[in-house]
Structure 1
Amino acid sequence: MKKIGVLTSGGDAPGMNAAIRAVVRYGIFNNINVVGIKNGFRGLVEGDSMEMSLSSVADIIHRGGTVLGSARSKDFQEKEGFERALKNVKYLGLDGIVTIGGDGTFKGAMELAKAGVPTIGIPGTIDNDLAYTQYTLGFFTALTTVLESVEKIRDTSSSHGRTNVIQVMGRNCGDIALYAGLAGGAEMVIIPEVDYNIDEVCDKIMQGRARGKKHSIIILAEGAGDAKDISELIEKKTGVGTRYSVLGYTQRGGTPSAFDRLMGSQMGAMAVELLTSSVSNRVLGIKGNEIFHMDIEEALSMEKKFDEKSYELTKILSI
């Protein structure tokens, strides 16, 4: 293993830079040249890359986003584009590639592995929607960002005696909403994994007002509905002034948490270590405090288990 590539693909996530830094520095420590592929698989198709050095990853561990850039590539999914990517792998002299991203990134890595390119995947997505791992890189930073917004919105909600619906990201996974609701003391969370009844939501709000609580916070996962529609319906049914906030891409940015920096650093180093040990077509994950690796195809075939216990706890603690 003389030269490896590293790329980030799909949505950016805090902690990606920590992983990039670890891949580069752990590689250099082991006398391996590292090439940074710009803008994900699109950069691999277009041959857009840069030689990485110790200084090229200096002072990036604390930065959000990804210094390599990220983009989705339809060309990579087509036969012609994929063949161009393979030619660029050979032209660059890459003996392996570390890919950082979500399920789409891992599917691309799996195709590269099937074509004979050794690959290791690092889970980088704020959605926490990969079934095989307990947490993904960026999730806890995004969760902290959401909680900071919830506290600010709670201040104005309390001042005006309103209900506020806060819409968070996560695609079809409700983990951000669920854990933000539990940690932020929300009256209710609305997530894709559980059907909700708008009348039950309204009853919960009115029960709170009956015991003197003037405001309510409802956290909505983007895959479960539209904040504007739900807030308008709540106000119509309860007569309580209701506002909504869509937090959007603020959740992807910002300084990564200590946990995401640690996980990114440890996974980046392990990815290089696996490649140098001739281990390929694997993805890294974490359970408890243990970082592990498993087959990409097996990881992608697993079904995400809903944390029903935390959901029930949220309901109990919001009585």
Structure 2
Amino acid sequence: MTEPYCDPHPNPAGIKRVAVLTSGGDAPGMNAAIRAVVRTATSQGIEVIGVRRGFSGLHRGDFITLGPRDVANTLQRGGTILLSARSHTWRTPEGRARGARHLRAHDVDALIVIGGDGSFHGAHFLQKEHGIPVIGLPGTIDNDLYGTDHTIGYFTAVETALDAVDKLRDTGASHERIFVIEVMGRHAGHIALDVAVAGGAEEVFIPEDAKEVAGVLDIVKASVKKGKMGSIIIVAEGYPGGATGVAKAIEDGTGMETRVSILGHIQRGGSPVSSDRILASRLGEAAVYALMEGRSDVMVGRQNHGTSFTPLADTWEKRKDVSRDLYRCAKTLSI
């Protein structure tokens, strides 16, 4: 076993070996989180087992040993080196029981799950049914998990979407067109709202506000009267009708030419920006320490510049709202 290279952390739980997996949709920064888990655990004399392909790999026993050199040169890489997959089998008690047997056969004391609310459901029931300690790390670009200010991958997704918006604005102004741009966010408008403010959008539609699309018509007409050469409308994919519905309403109501751009999964890819790398690194370190301290069935997050621990069930049962102040700001600055 590798000797610790930093001060020992209290380990009353007696953790000797942990497993780590990534599950659900990939998010930029997941590799930074894996790296942090591996190197923090190693520094404390704890071995790490990587589970490939998420819960699908866990119920099949698809394990690899991870050491500090195995995660070298991964900090800047997008995606996940452990791969990810969705597993219908894991949703059954039989599937979870099989995964628990694999963990015990490999003398794994605890599991760290990097993912979103669906992944946390799987982790929660593993702990509840089989008593295996679990810690969740918020890895999702949507930033929709209660209990943390930001999730791993969110900052990069916003930057990726904003870069596209800036380029489309140039084209829109050149051709005097309206661009309706759809960003990810099935149930939450965090990405859409940040992109709208940072990209100077004329309007933004989010799932949290069921305002009528008809309201955008006056905004578009007013923009033309003010001499604006083009308009940008941001729509979260979870808004009823999506970007296509908003664009149709504009064309039907004004007769003006619109173009729809659905950014889609491009927002999940690419090298993570510095904020995601730092967030993932801090959360990965904190997850190992939390297990050593005896914590379980919680998500490690960051709130008000400090580490927070939220029961996994709260992350999906409680609602995380968008910033209403920022929503007002978007409206004020769109004139």
- The alpha carbon displacement at 1:240 in A equals 1.5
Matched, 1:183 2:198: yes
Q: Secondary structure at the match of 1:134?
A: coil
Amino acid across the alignment from 2:50: G
For 1:306 and 1:14, the matched residues in 2 are separated by 21
> Shift of residue 283 of structure 1?
0.8
- Which residue among 7, 13, 19 is the counterpart of 2:33? 19
Q: Which residue of 2 aligns with 1:64?
A: 78
How big is each residue's C-alpha offset from its partner over 1:76-112, in whole Å with a ceiling of 9 and x where there is no partner? Answer: 1112211111111111110001100010111111112
Aligned to 1:281: 297
SS in 2 for 1:100: strand
Q: Is the 8 A contact 2:243 2:260 kept in 1?
A: yes
Give the counterpart letter for 2:323 in structure 1.
D
1:203 paired residue among 218, 227, 243: 218
Question: What is the aligned partner in structure 1 of residue 97 from structure 2?
Answer: 83
CA deviation vs aligned residue, 1:224-271 (integer Å, no higher than 9, x gap):
022223213312221211001000110001111111101111110111
Q: Give the corresponding residue for 2:121.
A: 107
CA offsets per residue over residues 280-319 of structure 1, 9 Å max, x none? Answer: 1111111132122122223332222232221111111101
Using the TM superposition, give the Cα deviation of residue 28 of structure 1 relative to its aligned residue in structure 2, in angstroms: 1.0
Give distance in 1, aligned partners of 2:274 and 2:72.
Answer: 17
Paired residue for 2:11? none
Distance in 2 between residues matched to 1:16 and 1:222, nearest whole Å:
23
Q: Cα distance 1:300–1:229, how it changes in 2: closer, same or farther (>3 A)?
A: closer
Q: Which of 25, 31, 39 is equivalent to 2:53?
A: 39
Task: Give the distance between the partners of 1:278 and 1:207, measured in 2 at CA.
Answer: 59
CA distance in 2, matches of 1:63, 1:111: 31
1:2 partner amino acid = K
Q: What is aligned with 1:263?
A: 279
For residue 32 of structure 2, what is the amino acid of its counterpart? A
Deviation at 1:47, TM superposition (A): 0.5
Where do residues 101-180 of structure 1 align in structure 2 (5 Å cutoff)? 101-114=115-128, 115-180=130-195
Secondary structure of 2:275's counterpart equals helix
Alpha-carbon distance between aligned partners in 2 of 1:294 and 1:233, rounded to the nearest angstrom: 42
- The answer as to whether partners of 2:214 and 2:249 remain within 8 angstroms in 1 is no
TM-score (norm 2): 0.93
How do 1:215-254 residues align onto structure 2 when only pairs under 5 Å count?
215-224=230-239, 225-254=241-270
Measure, in 2, the Cα distance between the counterparts of 1:266 and 1:273.
11
Structure 2 portions without partners, runs of 5+: 1-14
Question: For residues 113 and 176 of structure 1, what CA distance do their matches in structure 2 show?
Answer: 32
Is the 2:32–2:74 contact (alpha carbons within 8 Å) kept by the matching residues of 1? yes
Aligned length: 319
Q: Which amino acid aligns with 2:312?
A: I
Give the Cα separation in 2 of the matches to 1:210 and 1:18.
Answer: 48
Q: Is the contact made by 2:59 and 2:96 (CA closer than 8 Å) also made in structure 1?
A: yes
Structure 2 residue matching 1:255: 3-state secondary structure: coil
Identity %: 45
- Aligned partners of 2:16 and 2:109 also within 8 Å: yes
SS of match in other structure, 1:46: coil
Q: Which moved more, 1:284-293 or 1:242-251?
A: 284-293
